Structures are given as C-alpha cells and as structure tokens.
Structure 1
Amino acid sequence: MAVSGKKASKQFLSSTTSMASDEDLQIYCQPCDEEGPRLPAHGYCTDCKEHLCKTCFRAHKVSRFSKHHTLQDATNMPKVLQQPSTSIHTGQSDVLTTPCLKHPQEMIKFYCNDHTELLCSVCVTLEHQATSCKVDYIPDISGDILDSKQYQDILKTLNHTSDQFQQMVEDVKNMTNKSNSSLKESLAEIKKFRQEINQRLDVLERQAEDAAKVIKQKNNKNLKAVETTYEDMSKSLKTSSDKIKQLNTSKQTNKLFMELKLAEKTIHNVKGKTQQLLSYDIKEHNFQSNDEILNFLKTEESLGTLTHKTFNTESQSVQIKSRQPSHEGEICVKTSKDKYRCWIIGMTLLTPDLLIITDYDNKAVKMVDTNSQSVSDQLQLDAELWDITTVTSTQVAVTLPSIQTIQFISISSNKLIMKHTVKVGGNCHGISCYQSKLVVSFFNPAKLQILDINGTILTTTDGKYIFQNPRYIICNRSSIYVSDSGMKRVRSIYGSNDDMKRVTMLNWQGDEIGSYSGMGDPRGMSLSDDGTVFVCVWQRYGRHFVIEEISVDCSTGKVVLQDHKRPQAVCWCGKTKKLYYSCYVSDEKYGNFLQIYKLS
C-alpha cells in the first residue's frame, strides 16, 4: 500500500518496513514480520499498537486475549508505522523472541499470574485455560515495569543473593583450606603415632636384648670357671702321673708308696669335683615371642580412625542459650491397670498436647494429654519395652529388647492401636526416626543400624571401637547422637585401659564426628528446636543428678536443671518451651510422675 505526503521517522523504522524511496512507504503486518513472511497490513490494533495482515486481523477478533481490543480497518488505520509499545525505547529492540522450553517453535508472549509462569500460546491453550487461570499478554502489562518497585526489589534481592553466594564461595574456600590443613595435621599425627609405636617396640627390643646379654655374661663366667677347674685338675693329674713313673723308675719305693696314696686321694677328690661340675645346669636358650602383640597387629585393620567433623554452611555451633527454669507442675502417669511402680523409660511428643511414653515395669505404652495432665489411653504389650520414637503424625515405634522386636503403634481417635512388628538381629534399645529411616542401637554386641520402615537394613556400624552400651539415640538431618553409659576402649600398646561415658556424635555413614564426655552417665536425650541436645545425666562429678544441654557439635555443655531425682527420659516441646522428664527411683512420689519445667 503506497502512502504519500509523509516520511516515516527513522527511529520508528524496523525490519517491518521497506522503503522504495523517501516518499514511497509500504506498511507490513508487524507480527508476521517478526516471525514469518512479510505481508501487507490490513488493519490496526490500537491496544497492541500493531498493524495486522488479514489473517492476524481476523484472529485478533476471536482470540480471548485480544477480542476486546479496538481494531481499525485499512481505511481508518494509521498510514504510518506506529511505535509498538510504550515499553520500547529509542534504539532498543524489545521483540518477543524468546522460545518456549516446552514448545521451541513458539515464542513466549504470556504470563500466568496464578502459576507465576511464562507461557507461549500453546501452553495457554493446553494448560492454562481462561476458566482456571488469569493470563496476561506480556506487552499489555510490561509498560510500567521500568524502574518500578518490583524491579527495585528483585534487583536488590538478586544482588543480596549474589553476595550471599559469593560469601559461600569464600566459606567453601576457607573450609577447603581447613580440611586440607586438618588432613595434613592428621598425616603428621599418623607419622607421630607410628614413631611412638616404633619407639615402644625399640624399648621392648632393648629390654629383651639386655636380658639375653645378662644371661650370656653369667653363663660365660660360670663356664669359664668350670673350664679353669678342669684345666687345673688335668694338670695336677698329669703331674702326679709323671712323678709316679719317675719314682718307679728310680726304685724309690717309699716315696712311690706315698705318691700312689696321694694319687688315690687326688683321684677320689677329682671324681667328686667332677660330679659337682657336671651338676651345673648349662642351658640352650631360644626366644619365645609375645604372640599377643603379633595377634593384635594381625587383627587390627588400621593404625586408628580418621574422624571428622562436618562443615556446614548453616550454623553448626549453635550457642547454648541461657535458660531460666521454673517448675510448672507434674503429671501422674500411674493407672489402675498398673501392677508396679512406673518406670517411664522413653517418651516422644506427637503434638504439643500429646505425649506418648513407655513404662518398662508395667509393659505399657501410655498416651498422656498434656492439657488435662492425665493418661488418656494405655496399651499393654507382652514384653518389657525401652525407647520410643515418632514415625509419622499418627504412628510411633517402640523397641522390645528381650524379644528383639520393634513394635509399631498407630494413634487414631485418641486410641493406641497395635500394628505390625519388625524383627531385628539383637537386643534393640535406643530408637529414633528421621525421614522414614529408623536408627536403632543394640547391646551385646554394641552396634548401630539404620533401617527402613519395613525393617530392611540400610547401614550397620560396628560399635566395637565407638561405644559399649548405647542406651538412647536421637537424630536430625545431619547427625546421629548416641548416649553411651560405658564405652571401653581397646588396650593400648602402653598397657592402659580407657573407660568413658559420653554422648557420641555420628554422621549418617556411621563415622564418629564428635563427642561430649566427662559428664557422668548419660541416659535419655531430646533435641531442642535450635538443634542442641538435652540429656539426662547421673552422678556428675559426685553431685546430684542433672539435665544438661549440649551444643550441636558436642563441643560444649551447660547444666539446665540440677539436684533432681535420677532423670531417665526427657522430651522437649519447642512450641511451649516446656521440658518433660521422668525419674527412676523407688519412691512412688517421683517414679509415678512426669516433671514439667518451663525454660525461658
């Protein structure tokens, strides 16, 4: 279509225009010119500010995204090319040419507000219908985006996030340097340990050599004395023999007689001396090695264990808060079904209002309503039970050591319902669940296993060199904590034993990555909302029994409750900031009650 009388401004000219001369200008369909063949304009959309060919003009009338736009036919449409959008600035190209990831042949032109997704026309048609989604045409909504609050906020967030990642890069570099440095130190420690072993073996070798030398010197002295005696007696007998022969030749009968008698006496004395010398015990020596040392070296698989602590970009050493405890009361858990005094040995919090506990002596699982402070239901089992853990919001698991079984129990309509069981290979005690994985500790022999809900063994950690009596377990995303009431280390080459009681920290591969010791005898544990560990402790430094809080990395600890009656099991509620614990005492005043403390 020829247009005369006006010349198009060069700043509005693009590939959609073709100039025959300065006075002759043909206007083409802008959408088609962007993505397809160049076709003459048949009309114009005042909303999109685009010239359209016949096909695009017809489609524009029926599309639900543009059917309400104002259209002008060929007669009324502008006779010069218009600026497509207010979002296009002079000298800049803002054509929608980004291909859709799902439909590469289509360009992204729409935005779904409900799903916050960029879409092409095919995406809109197939997945984001008008009846279910609010979809906008991008040129219709992008005009006010320049220097907008959204622009400023996103840019600020991008810069902040970029700075965070840059800091993380620096942290990773620092952690790498620390890790390499620690490995260098570990290699030096291995060399040092080997030198210590060599030095000790050198000492033992010198001791054995010195003992052999003493025996050799003594033997040489005694044998030299025997040799000298024999030589002297031989000379004396030879002298007597020669003299007798001479006297006999010279016919000196008197002297011969006396010499013969002296010879008889000498022979008698010599025989007696000979018997005495022969009685001296001359031994042949050999070396009998200490097989215990050799067997120890044969059975050991390494010089030692290369332990490590996990670096975490999150705060791994959460500081222990200063907490002010206040006694909030107690809950009686003794029921009419109980035959004996209660021994509450395990507990887990299902909700802030629902505490599930295990009563060892009465072989019962009890549901405690913390609001009414009473036992709302009780389930009797056939064997003594130990620890308990929350599996889901409606299911718990309990260990039964004497029958080597894990019992699953569901909670429905405020009732405890016995479900399936899983047989395990040993006397199971501690149990903790994280993301459908059960971590279980065992006695005799001491070990730790990670199982799935069906009882399939995923990992086994031999506790031979880590712990001896792993009573309780708690775990989170990165760590497993084990309370050990008596770890016995292997006899060292220097002949000493090292007995300890401690909380051991493992990773999910079963490697020891930290420990906290010197506290006394640790029992039940519970994780705080900060990731620190509450642990019941017996006989700390000769003082009364306490509850202690240990840092996330087991580097430090602080007593939060002290002078209490043998705390056995403990449970923390982060929402109410309350700590529940049981006591193992014969006094029913304490044994049949759960104590409640607020820690603020």
Structure 2
Amino acid sequence: MTVPGKKASKQFSSSTTSMSSDEDLQVYCQPCDEEGTRLPAHGYCTDCKEHLCMICFKAHKINKFTKKHTRLDATSMPKVLQQPSTSIQTVLSDDLTMPCPKHPKEMIKFYCNDHTEFLCSVCVTLEHQATSCKVNYIPDISGDIIDSKEYQVILNAVNTTSDKFQQILKDVKDMTHKSNSSLKDALVDIKKFRQEINQRLDELERQAEDAAKVIEQENKKHLKAVETTCEEVTKSLKISSDKIKQLNTTKQADKLFIDLKLSQETIKDMDETLLKLSSFDIKEHNFQSNDVILNLIKTEKSLGTLTQKTLNKESQSAQIKSRQSSHEGEICVETSKDNYICYITGMTLLTPDLLIITDYNNEDVKMVDTSSQSVSNKLQLDDKPWDITTVASTELAVTLPHKQTVQFISISSNKQLKMKHTVKVGGKCYGINCYQGKLVVSLRFPAKLQILDMNGTILTTMDGKNIFKDPWYITCNRISIYVSDCHMKTVTRLNWQGEVIGSYSAMGYPTGMSLSDDGTVFVCDWRRNVIEEISGDCSTGKVVLQDLKTPRAVCWCGKTKKLYYSCYAFDNKNQNFLYIYNLS
C-alpha cells in the first residue's frame, strides 16, 4: 500500500519503462524524483511499489506509517522502474493545498495531536516518528468534523471572543461617556464657585476649562483607537465565522478542519489583544473647590483641582454588594479506596458541573460531578497534593510540596484524569494559580512567590521579606496577585512586578481563596469559622458566611452563584464533605 499522505507515483505506459539515455538507464529514487531531484535507488519497497534512495530507504524503516513495509536492498530490488497499479495509488485531496512552513515544497497532510501541529510527510519522518506521537492523516480524521462538537465549540469560541471585544468597546464607550459627563459636572461646579469670586478668577477658570478639554480630547483619541481595533477584529472574526459555517455547510471537511484549528490559534492570540485593550486607564473627574480662595484670592494661584478616579471593573469592587445566602447541601467525597479521612486542601472549577479537588491525606485528585453530587473519577498520585489550578479546558496543575514540584494532569474526552509531566520549583510549593499562560506559585521556608511559564522556567521571583511570612494560597487576575498569609493574618495584594498595592488585615487565620465574577475575593478564615468577601483593592471586607465548620479551601461558581468549601476539623468526619451555599 502507499505511504499515507504520499503523492501518487508518476504514471508510465507499461509495467516497465524503456530508457533512452545513459541517465535514464539508472534506476532512481521515485519519491525524490517527484520533488525534482533524481538520486540513485538504494532499495525498493514492495508495499509502496517504489524505488528509494539511501535517505528515503532509511527513513522508511523508522516512519511509523512505513516501518512494517517489506523492503528490498540494492541487490534484491527490481532493476527497472515499476508502475504501481491504479488500485494502490493515493490521490492527494484537492483541499490539502497548504504548504508546509518548514518544507515549502511539501503540502500539509498530517496533524499531530500531541504537539497540536500541522505536518507534511517530511515533518513526520524527521520529527514525529516516535511511537508516543499520535499523528493522523487529515483526510482520515476530518470526516467527523462536520457538525461535530469541536466545530460547535470553536465556532462558539470565535463568537464569544467577538462578543468580548464588543463588550470592551461598550465598556470603554460607557466609561468615556461617564468621564466626559463628570467633566461637564465639574465645569458646572466651577461655574457656581466662580460666581462667588471676582473678575480675578476669569483667567483661572479658562485654565481649568482648557485642562478639561485636553483630557476630553485624550479620551476621544483613546476611544477612537479602541473602537477601530474592536471593529477590525470583530469584522475579521465575522469573516472567519462565516467561512467556517460555509465550509461546514458545503461539507469541505479538510478545509474546515484546518480553518477551525487556525481559528483556535487566532483566538488564543486575541487574548493578548484583549488584555491590552482591557488595561485602559480612563479617569473620572470631580472638581474640588478651594474654600479659602475668597479670602486669599490675591495670593492663590489655582481655582482648585480635578481629582481622578480610575473607571474599570476593579474600581467598582470596592463596594461589596449585599448577598443573600442559603445552605444547598453537602457532597460526600469519600470513596471506597480511601485509606484516611479526607483533607481537601484545594479545588478548581472546570465547568459548573465539574469540580476538581485535591485530597491531601489520601494523596489523590478527585473529579466531583456537582450535578449528581458524587466523585466520578480519581487519580492516585505519588505524594501529598496541596493546591490545584485549571491550566486549560483539559489540563490542570497541582502542587506537591514535599517533592517541591508541580504535577500537570490531563483530562481525556471521556473525563479520565491522567498524570503528565512535572516541573521542579525552588522550594516547598503550596498555593498555585494560572493566569494567561503563567503559573503563580507560593513557597514556604523561605516565603516567596514564583511566576513560571508552562515549561517551568522561572520568569519572576518575589522575595517575601517584609511582605509575607507564610503564604499558603494564591489567586490572581489581570492586575493583582492575592496572597493569604496565616502567620501575618492578612491577605496581601501585589501587582505582577511584586509591588504591594493593598492589604487586608482584619483576619484571624486566612487560608483558601477564590475570585468572584465581580472582582472581589472570597477568603476562608479558619480561626473565625467564617468566609469573608473582600474588595478587589483590599480596602473593605464583609462576612458572607459564618458559624461554619473550620473552612479550609473555597471555590466560587459565578454562573450558578454557588460557593463550595471544605473544612479541616482535626480528623473529624466533616472533612469528608464539601459544603454548598447559594449566594445571590
């Protein structure tokens, strides 16, 4: 049979070919000849019905698609070129016309699931021949992509990303309007204040108006830039979405497969653009009058000041809204294979129906189905895990403090947990959180934070000296990294450069944390038996649940408005349960 993805051999007029010159009398490598290079044949493959040069002959032995083929060496191979029968020829799909970026003369024909890469035949031979690499010939797998779940997921992701850009544009418009409106209000206050003083203030008033106009122009300029970017990206995503739908409708599976994968990568690239756009810095302005100006008008040099307050979602979080709480029940996470009472030290939510938890005492990771309220799967580890974070939709990362490593875990399509690779960190790692492809890990003895990439490369180290002493848990967003410190009895807020930008100290023994969809932080206070919600800037806090059973880890689901927490009660069987509260 023909090598998957290989072009069909050239056709001849008979089973043997007559040679008309000294060069043609030589039996040559047929694959190389198809690519424009004529090399002497070193052997022959009876399955592919092709003569092969020394390089192709050796590659044939290790390529996973051809290593079982029957090969003849130079002494045993046919002495004339053979014409393959029509039944064994492979015709390259008309859709497979994308050149390989590494080998421009070759077309993309394969897809490596392990490396999520498109490959040509040369790539497969040289770089992906290991048995651990799962390589598929695109026409063999693309047929199932029409109307598939993956098609729907990626199309939804395209639309969701487009919606995010539209939402950012709407937010910037709203805040710009509010900023400009606040400037108008400030100018009204200036007018009122101006009426109480004499002509001397005319010049100062003009200066204040000019300053406001400059700010307004800057707002308009910034809004225009954001508007242009969002509209261009939205238009591009609309074109991509329409193309994907068209390919799906016309059943062009190969092109649809490639476009879907490319769209998936494009969406990832868009996250960086979203991050840049969402880091807008638009100010709200108020005028503060100078009360002593009436008495000191001859000596004062300013009419007042325009104060500024940043308008973004985080600034809203300083006001913690009132919540109504109700106990929704418990989930038993004890299994028949557990040897000890559970100790749930970390949890992360994959979907509203899937909660992943770490059981420190039983040295495993458990998948909890919140719909059926049962443990649906578990993975035994080789050491005690502490905290866990979601890295991707099918990947997790767990800290193993005693091994000083982070263990990566994959989730298969049938929702089975499987250990992947590990990365070493420089100490006993406890808290962990992933944001925008970066892992933030807290270490104890000595206390410090590390920011790592997915390969374990340390990008930043934040020394805990004079900042925190015993950092157990971490959570983070675009602007802030929050650290709970049970020794300092604080939740410390840092920026991504390691600078302290806030602290909340009204705590007894803060442990597990979880960010809410409003930008606030839920914090377990083990000593006070409460869960407290603190503002994103760490300026205020409010107890949302009290009289609890020594809360340890916590997880918030913004979609269902449910809060899950575990407890640590010194070998009390309450530890075998997750407790569920609705907070509306």
Structure 2 length normalisation: TM-score?
Answer: 0.48
Structure 1 length normalisation: TM-score?
Answer: 0.47
